[in-house]
Amino acid sequence: MSAAPRSASRADPSPVPVIELRGAAFGYGEHAVVTDVTLPVHRGEIVAVLGPNGSGKSTLMKGILGLNEHLAGTVRLFGEPADELRDRARVGYVPQRHTLSSSIRSTAEEIVATGRLPRLGWLGRPKATDRQVVARALELVGLSDRAATEVATLSGGQQRRVLIARALAGQPDVLVMDEPTAGVDVASQHVLADVLARLVARGVTMLIVTHELGALERLLTRIVVVDGGRVTFDGPPRRFAARRRARDHAHDTHRHDSELAAGDTAAVVPHGPADRSGQAHA
Amino acid sequence: MLEILTTDFMQRALIAALLVGLVAPMVGIFLVQRRLSLIGDGMGHVALAGVAIGLVTGLEPVLTALAGAVLAAVAIELLRARGRTNADVALGVIFYGGIAAGVVIISKAPEGTPANLVSYLFGSILTTRTSDVWVFLVLALVIMGTLWVLWPRLFAVANDEEYARAVGLPVLPLNIVLAVLTATTVVVAMRVVGLLLISALMIVPNAAGQLLARSFTSGLRWAVAIGLVSAVGGVFVSYPLDTPSGGTIVVLAVLIYIVTAVSMAVVGRLRQRRHEVAESHEHEHGPECGHEAIPHGDHVDYLHDGHRHAAHQGHYDEHGADEYGALSRDDGPTGQDEEVST
Ligand SMILES: Nc1ncnc2c1ncn2[C@@H]1O[C@H](COP(=O)(O)OP(=O)(O)OP(=O)(O)O)[C@@H](O)[C@H]1O
Ligand SMILES: [Mg+2]
Ligand SMILES: [Zn+2]
Ligand SMILES: [Zn+2]
Ligand SMILES: [Zn+2]
Ligand SMILES: [Zn+2]
């Protein structure tokens, strides 16, 4: 990773986007859940992905990672077609729901160590430096004292932090995080935001699905809203905030970051996948 | 009693048992982790067809069994990777097709072989030849060597397949390797425990090991220890008792499991009574929380208003003020790992 010193908040204007979707559609089986996504993400951008439950945020993240059906359009990572990318270790992933097997006991450290494996090639074995990286990742999420604790006995928020540490252990160039802070207490969220800020300074690109901007807000360079399987807003946080203010004015009793989604015209409409009322790209 | 050790067949049997007891739990832990506990059983069925082909054609049954089981293993993983909802049914077809073909083919074998069928199904150390033992030794070494190199990756894939795929671990090749290792283990164990009981030696030691362990590596060590004791012990007692070795080994493994489960329940009850929980604890201790961190055995205590607090499951334990007192009744996060058996 060639990390030239640069401003933390400005995107790198290098010509090849880290992630590049063009007219992409993803889904499960034959059924498309997100469609027509065109999304170039450049090096150093920190993108929040917002949207109501079931809008297709996780489906979009999994699509970028090649974990579900890619039904249309193109996906390129680091300038290469995603399915031909050799060096997948450059991608880090924090899934929304942990899919860790519970039938065999394992410790937080053992789980985080699996995050290091992509960096070791097909047959390499972990060396002292790899173990240090793993220990450091646990330390960054504030779990060094639980390294030897069985993951199943950790709390929900602590388990999330184990998954974040697992992604950090791979020292990725791009981090795809699906609700990394859900269930994480405020203090830990701030610690996490500091950790991510340090990665941002190193030029790591991030795609963060979230319902609460919270502590992460200060890091963001861009906001993308997904609703009904489509991108309905894509722009800098300032413009998002302006639109949110306009919207709050309309019904200020209740507000949610992701509800801008349906567009300004439709205040009360169903946000299901079949609803195509709010597709105007901002 | 010990003179039985000098008989040739007993030596061969004990060596074969040693290999099986070592290898079966090692492979089995990944099967349990992937929730594929019974796949070894299915491969045993297919290996029977291989044995039958060997007996009819005059080829070495161990090798034809290996070929059959490995082919089935690869087919199964490819079917599972296709992710079709009927993969389950397809497995059934392969497994029962295997055992049925085995029974039919074996009936066409030369005189005297029907007795052989039973010996393959339930194991028969008396008929294990020296050449078999050599083959088993080579196969067991191949299995152990492969596991030594690949176990962190097999663990990662078995633990969280989606994540493994996202970060580019070779998931399908690793799953195929595990399936082939399972097939090979089936063949190594065939003479000692028999094709119908092989799965037991992959699963039961791990079931018992999981009662004792708090980490993957300690779980693996416990399972191997229990596997070795049951396999070697089972062969050893089956001679004076005049019982079939395969059944004896599995009965012994199950007994170890039961004894472990009961004693762990008792130990857990006792520990529960002895350990002191720090009451009303809102604060979460961590490296940067400001409280002094004191290394204590395999964990860290935090000095909190004059008390030593150690994280334990969802709460904090009081680890007291005087260090030695605290150590002697330590039940920190991993404190139960290895010591409980003593
Ligand atoms: N494995 C799956 N198979 C089939 N359909 C799925 C699967 N996972 C999600 N879906 C469907 O895709 C749609 C979008 O789901 P997705 O998980 O992407 O939503 P989301 O925006 O991440 O929601 P949340 O905020 O609740 O996490 C939903 O209608 C859901 O039913
Ligand atoms: Mg989601
Ligand atoms: Zn503290
Ligand atoms: Zn302690
Ligand atoms: Zn405390
Ligand atoms: Zn306790």
Residues B214-247 have pLDDT tens digits of: 899 999 999 999 999 999 999 989 888 888 888 9
Please check the confidence at residue B16 and state whether its pLDDT lies above 70: yes
Give A103's contacts in chain B (Cβ within 8 Å).
32-33, 35
- Number of Cα atoms under 13 Å in the Cβ half of residue B291: 19
* CATH at residue B186: 1.10.3470.10
Number of compact structural domains in chain B? 1
CB A152 within 8 A of CB A201: no
pLDDT by residue for chain A (282 residues), tens only, comes to 444 444 444 444 557 888 999 999 999 988 899 999 999 999 989 999 999 999 999 999 999 999 999 999 999 999 888 888 888 889 999 998 777 778 899 999 999 999 999 888 778 888 889 999 999 999 888 888 889 889 988 888 888 889 999 999 999 999 999 998 887 888 888 888 888 888 888 889 999 999 888 888 888 999 999 999 999 989 888 888 888 777 765 554 555 554 444 444 333 334 444 444 444 443
* Token reading at A105: 């006991």
Domains of chain A: 19-244 (3.40.50.300)
Q: What pLDDT was estimated at residue A33?
A: 93
Residues B288-332 have pLDDT tens digits of: 788 888 888 778 888 888 788 888 877 888 887 644 434 433 343
CB under 8 Å to B83, separation ≥6 — which residues? none
Q: What pLDDT was estimated at residue B314?
A: 74
How much is the ipTM here? 0.80
C-alpha B338, offset from chain centre? 18
The answer to the question of residue B142 being in a domain is: yes
The answer to the question of residue B90 being in a domain is: yes
Band of the pLDDT at B4, cuts 50, 70, 90? low
Q: Do B167 and A123 touch (CB under 8 A)?
A: no
Containing structural domain, residue B78: 2-198
Residue pairs spanning A and B at CB distance below 8 A = 134
Q: Is B83 exposed, middle or buried (0-12, 13-18, 19+ CB in 10 A)?
A: exposed
The answer to the question of residue B314 being in a domain is: no
Give B285's contacts in chain A (Cβ within 8 Å).
145
Cα separations in angstroms, B323 against A147, A218, B19, B76:
22, 44, 44, 55
Q: Do B166 and A66 touch (CB under 8 A)?
A: yes
Which is the closest atom of ligand 1 to the Cα of A56? Answer: 18
Q: Do B284 and A170 touch (CB under 8 A)?
A: no
Q: How far does the CA of residue A56 sit from the closest CA of chain B (Å)?
A: 18
Residues B116-168 have pLDDT tens digits of: 677 888 887 777 788 888 989 999 999 999 999 999 999 999 999 999 999 88
Identify the residue among A93, A107, A110, A145 best suited for mutation to test binding to B, counting B beta carbons within 10 A and taking the highest. Answer: A145
**For ligand 1, which residues put their CB under 6 angstroms from it?**
A 28, 33, 51, 53-59, 96, 273
Q: Do A106 and B153 touch (CB under 8 A)?
A: no
Give A139's contacts in chain B (Cβ within 8 Å).
287
CB B176 within 8 A of CB B73: yes
